[in-house]
Every structure is written in C-alpha cells, then in structure tokens.
Amino acid sequence: MTDYQKNLHPYVYSAAYQKRVAYFSMEYAIVQCLKTYSGGLGFLAGSHMRSAYHLKQNVVGIGILWKYGYYDQVHKSDQTMSVLFLEKIYSFLQKTDIQFEININHSPVQVGVYYLPPNAFDTAPIFFLTTNLPDNDYLAQTITHKLYDSNQEAKIAASILLGAGGHKLLEILDLAPDIYHLNEAHALPLAFSLFHKYGQAEEVRKRMVFTTHTPEAAGNEKTDIRLLDKMGYFSYLPLNEVRQITGIKEDTFDHTLAALRLARKANAVSRMHGKVIGKLWGNFQSICPITYITNAQSYSYWADQYMYEYLQQGDDEKLFLRKRQLKKQLFEEVADQTGDLLDENVFTIVWARRFAAYKRADLIMNDMIRFERMLTDSEKPVQVIWAGKPYPTDYAAVSVFDRLVHHSKKYHHCSVLVGYELKLSKLLKQGADLWLSNPLVSHEASGTSGMSAVMNGAVLLSTADGWVPEFIRHGSNGFMVPAVDPSLPLHEQNQLDAKCILDKLQYDILPLYYKQQDRWLTIIKNSMRDILPFFDSDRLAKEYYEKLYNS
C-alpha cells in the first residue's frame, strides 16, 4: 500500500459514498492562486471537489498543472485587451517523487506528478500531471504549458496525458477506481487505455461515465482520425479496432459521440440541456443512457456569510447595508482598473462570464439609442460593468471585448474589467444589483455564474436557458425574458431578446429598485432562500453518486 493510498482522504467515507471515483478534468478552479482553469467548467469542477470533501466522498481528482495557466488577461495601453503568459509557481503543491513514461506521437515523454492534499483548501485530493521536466525535450515540455493551447497537436497531446497518463498514475499508486468519470471528453484517451488493459469495450463501459457540458460545436471536438492515430490517442490500437469499438467509420472522429458509446452512463448539466442533448444525439446508435444532473456551485465558497446571517435574523437594514458595503468593495477595483468612480447608490448591472458568441456580451447595446437613454436617465440611473476572458485566439470575441472598452470611455458609468478569475468573479457577484445573463436560448447547457451571484444578493435577469428555468419564479426571485422562436434568423432573435431585456429593465426592474425598495429587497431575500439547497454543489455531488456512479 502506497503512502498516498494510506493517507489519501482525512476522513472515513460516508456509507453512501464508498465507491472509489477518479474524476478527470482538464481544469479545476480551486482558489484564485492556483491557475488551472479558464471558466465555467473549472468553476464547476472546483465546487464539485469541495463538496466531495464536505460529504466525505471517496473521490480523487486527476488534472494537469499548466506552467502558464490559461493566460493572464491584461490591458493594452489604450485599455483594450492583451494576453500575457506568465510562469506560475506554487509552493503549496506537493512535488511527489513519482515519475513515469508515456508514449505520445511515438516518442517517450516523462511525466511528473504534483499533489494537492485535501487539507490545503478543503477539497478532494487532486493529482496534477506535468511534462515540464528537464528530462523532456522542449516540444514535450510544451504539452503542459498552456491550457487549451491553440496548436491542435498540443491539445491532442494534453488529452493523451490527462487520459492515458492519469490512468497510468492510478495504476502506479494502486488506486484503480470503481468509476472513471470524464468531466467533458478531453480525457477520452483514458477509454482506449482501459481497452488496452481489459481487451473488451464492455469492460470499459462498466467503469466509465461521462459528463457533457455544451451543445456548442466548439465544445464537441471533431478531429482527423488519422492524426489522432498517429499521435497515439488510441493507445496505438489498430485503427480498424478503434472504428469497431467506437462505431465511427468516418475519417472525422467525433469525440463526444465516442464518449457516449464507451461510457456506461452519461449526463447533461441541466434539465433543458438534457432535452437538447436528446435531440442532438438521440438518433445515433449504441449510445449510453443519458440523464441530467443540473450544475451547482459551492455555497461554502461563494456565498457572503454576513448576508445570509442577516437574512436568517430577519434584519433587513443590516442586509441592505451589507450589500452597499460589498458594492463599495467592487467599485474600488473598478476605479483601480479603469479610473471610473461608480456610485453605490446607483443600480448596477454586471455581465461577466467567458466571452463567446452565443453568450452575447454586447446584447444590451443592440439598440444603442435606447441603451444610452437608460444610462443617462437622471431619475433612474444605471451603471454597467462587463468582465470576462475570451479564448486568446477567438478574435471575434476579443473584438467584442475591445468594442465594449471603447464604448465605456464615453460614459463614466460603464466599465470593462480584466482578470475574470475567482477573486474578481466573487467581487462582481457581491457588488452587482443585477446579474445579467443573456445567452442564445438552447446554446447554454447550464451556466453557473448566476447561481453564485444570487448567493451574494444579486438579482438574476436571464433568457430562459440552461439552469434558469429550474430556478426563476418570475418577479418573485428574479426575472426571465420570454423565449423567442429559435427558427428565426439570428439578428431577429438578438433584436427581440434585447428589446425584452430593456423592456424588463425600464418598466419592471428599475421602478422596483428606485421606487419600491421593500419589494426589491423581498426579491433579493426570496432568491437567496430559493437558491438553496438545490443549487449548492453538495446536492450535485450527492446526485452524481445516486444517478451516475451507483446506478
């Protein structure tokens, strides 16, 4: 028995959570200072690992230690966005003496291992793999340089490292789990490594489950099967055998489809996403049963405990004053980054999440005349803050970010922030009066930013997508705009959604905030109560055992 096996968890597993689970994720958002995440997938994985610890579950995480993280988002001299890759060093991670070899692109690659113990941040134990070793040549070292590297071969190599490398690490540690959980298809090479060991696809299915997080094409990768074969993605199994066990006869390999065929069971991440996934994949033969487990976020990490204390005490005045205090703290960051001095007495809208086309960061500006009229209203003024990190090579998303920066220069009450990681995310959620979420309906699998915003007294205004229809009681605990016809041209959907959002702000939300503050505070309190316990990640971690691991 290895030292890590003996000392893996500092608790006795609860009766319902005895089955050992290895959780494979390309990113984890554990704390601000550990830069192993890009956005929502990492935020979700971080909350899951916190709840696994809290519930005393037999879970271990497998990830990758990125030398430069995702990237550091900084301002250029004109405040538009720039990308910085800065080496990260972590004294709190334990460098293990474990080193082993895997084969990528027919070349030996040395793998080192770092360990995040549970008592560091109250999470399940997590092992992080790295190829940033002097034993490797520079090309092999670059495999773990950047999360979601724009180079296709580097991304494929990272998947092999996570899947096949993670499997080999567990074998070395004698920690072979009962269940291998793929959090997205990034670690799919694990399936072929398992097949290489057991020799039967059915043996793989007995052990593997899969979570799909997005219906977007960009998140459901398709790759030239011969490139994958050449690089060793399939554990060097003969290509005809790969086609046989995945059922993929085409030359373009569909990663999500293969995962759905090689898993015992899979899940979508909201009730609505489950329906979308059924339409996308339901006609394909031999896929596994698909359930849904709605995403959630860690109350213990995200929620402002003072606000909940005052809520429980029924002290509305202290609740109100605490929210004002949190707004001031956010506005200090806004002033530091942009020079804008915002007013805590003014209604503050925040749009903050990963920049992607379907999330529509600039939708509220679709009718620019009406938007400007709202900003300059002397009776019911509005402040707007944007933040979020586009993929560095998503130039369309970067262009939207930069456009918002240029517009914000015209108005002292519009600001665009950089560095949307855990710390800034928490500040924004604590300081927002309204958390605006306006994805194109049926494109947001779940979304989780609104959950943690509500835990900080921000009221949610959203299109009817992802998790939102499971939560919103319109006008009571938040606001949801009517769904538009998805068959309409995109520009018409944008126009209709933008009009509905501005209507809701002008005729319902702003009059409540400025003229009926008691009712506004009631909505805040309703939302803070209603978000719990269902959208706390303890429920999510419990459901994964009930619906995926033990079933």
365-413 pLDDT, tens digit each:
999 999 999 999 999 999 999 999 999 999 999 999 999 999 999 988 9
Structure tokens at 363: 């939708």
pLDDT-flagged residues of the chain (< 70): 1-6
Same domain assignment for residues 135 and 93: yes
**DSSP-derived 3-state class of residue 49:** helix
Same domain assignment for residues 291 and 330: no
Same domain assignment for residues 256 and 204: yes
Structure tokens at 344: 């805590």
Angle at 44 between CA 207 and CA 417, to 5 degrees: 150
- Domain ranges, residue 413: 300-535
pLDDT for position 323: 98
Residue 517: φ, ψ to 5°: -65, -30
| Amino acid at residue number 103 | N
Q: Which residue is listed with tokens 């956010």? A: 330
Same domain assignment for residues 545 and 478: no
Whole-number Å distance between alpha carbons of 345 and 388:
25
Same domain assignment for residues 221 and 328: no
Same domain assignment for residues 545 and 501: no
CATH classification of the domain holding 334 = 3.40.50.2000
Our CA dihedral for 424, 430, 432, 433, rounded to 10 degrees, sits at 180
Pick from 390, 273, 301, 260: which is nearest to 28 by CA? 301
Same domain assignment for residues 237 and 306: no
Whole-number Å distance between alpha carbons of 242 and 11:
41
Residue 129: φ, ψ to 5°: -90, 145
Same domain assignment for residues 284 and 366: no
Q: Is there a contact between 113 and 101 (Cβ–Cβ < 8 Å)? A: no
Q: HEC states along 409-470?
A: CCCCCEEEECCCCHHHHHHHHHHCCEEEECCCCCCCCCCCHHHHHHCCCCEEEEECCCCHHH
* Number of domains composing the chain: 2
pTM, two decimal places: 0.97
Angle at 22 between CA 123 and CA 67, to 5 degrees: 65
Paired sense of beta strands 222-224 and 252-254, if any: antiparallel
Structure tokens at 113: 């291992």
Q: Is there a contact between 211 and 182 (Cβ–Cβ < 8 Å)? A: yes
SS3 content of the chain, % helix, strand, coil (to 5): 45, 20, 35
Pick from 8, 10, 50, 9: which is nearest to 29 by CA? 50
Q: Is there a contact between 235 and 166 (Cβ–Cβ < 8 Å)? A: no
**DSSP-derived 3-state class of residue 87:** coil
Q: 169-174: which pairs have CB atoms within 8 A and are 24 or more residues apart?
A: 169/62, 169/98, 169/100, 169/111, 169/113, 169/127, 169/129, 170/22, 170/60, 170/62, 172/98, 172/100, 173/2, 173/4, 173/5, 173/98, 174/1, 174/2, 174/5
Other Cβ atoms within 10 Å of 22 Cβ, number: 24
pLDDT for position 1: 46
pLDDT for position 2: 60
Same domain assignment for residues 41 and 107: yes
pLDDT for position 412: 84
Same domain assignment for residues 459 and 351: yes
pLDDT for position 216: 85
User: Can you say whether the dihedral through the CA atoms of 469, 472, 474, 479 is positive or negative?
Assistant: negative
Q: Is there a contact between 184 and 155 (Cβ–Cβ < 8 Å)? A: no
Same domain assignment for residues 312 and 181: no
Same domain assignment for residues 247 and 230: yes
**DSSP-derived 3-state class of residue 75:** strand
